[in-house]
Structure 1
Amino acid sequence: MDLQQQFEAAVAESKKLTKRPDNNTLLKLYSLYKQATDGDVNIDPPSNPFDIVGKAKYNAWVALKGKSKEAAMQEYLDVFNTLEK
């Protein structure tokens, strides 16, 4: 299975986890997923000052600027494989 297929399988499996990962892990998975699928951040930051979750997601994604899609996929797999299934 190539990297793209492994990544897609892990994304599908992540939706079936029996134990919810902690918020930091979820944020890491989110930002790695966005970097792997969309590349560098391509949206404006949330304008609502009370959108704490949206800002955290945006900032986590921005922090990955310049990381290749392949590197983001591999890192997503590395994090996913540490999760309790």
Structure 2
Amino acid sequence: MADLKAAFEQAVTESKQLPEKPDNMTLLKIYALYKQATQGDVEGKRPGFTDMVGRAKFDAWAELKGTGSDDAMQQYIDLIESLK
């Protein structure tokens, strides 16, 4: 568990230093996996249609509902590794 947490934190650091900015869908996936790994399932109301960015983030995170924290961390690590 400690190794996974350390690898996750390293991947978070590396995500800010990627050679090029990922496309929007990939950025949403990164965001959603991070939130799922650190906070669990999404809560609260879905943002209204005037908040397009907030709504997209909420939807991406909601798609991961039920994914365990460790699994989300591993998926995050794998995604960041694939973007290097």
Measure, in 2, the Cα distance between the counterparts of 1:51 and 1:10: 29
Measure, in 2, the Cα distance between the counterparts of 1:69 and 1:30: 14
Deviation at 1:74, TM superposition (A): 0.4
Q: Which amino acid aligns with 2:77?
A: L
Q: Which amino acid aligns with 1:78?
A: D
Deviation at 1:43, TM superposition (A): 2.8
Write the deviation string for residues 16-39 of structure 1: whole angstroms up to 9, x where unpaired. Answer: 223100111111010000000000
SS in 2 for 1:43: coil
Q: Could you say what the CA RMSD is over the residues aligned between the two structures, in angstroms?
A: 1.2
- 4+ residue runs of structure 1 moved beyond 4 angstroms? none
Corresponding residue of 1:65: 65
- Aligned pairs for 1:7-46 within 5 A: 7-46=8-47
Using the size of structure 2 for normalisation, the TM-score is 0.91
| Mapped contact 2:46–2:58 kept (Cα < 8 A) | yes
Using the size of structure 1 for normalisation, the TM-score is 0.90
Measure, in 1, the Cα distance between the counterparts of 2:7 and 2:45: 30
Write the deviation string for residues 26-64 of structure 1: whole angstroms up to 9, x where unpaired. Answer: 1101000000000001232113x2211111110011111
1:79 aligns with 2:54: no
Corresponding residue of 1:6: 7
Measure, in 1, the Cα distance between the counterparts of 2:39 and 2:67: 11
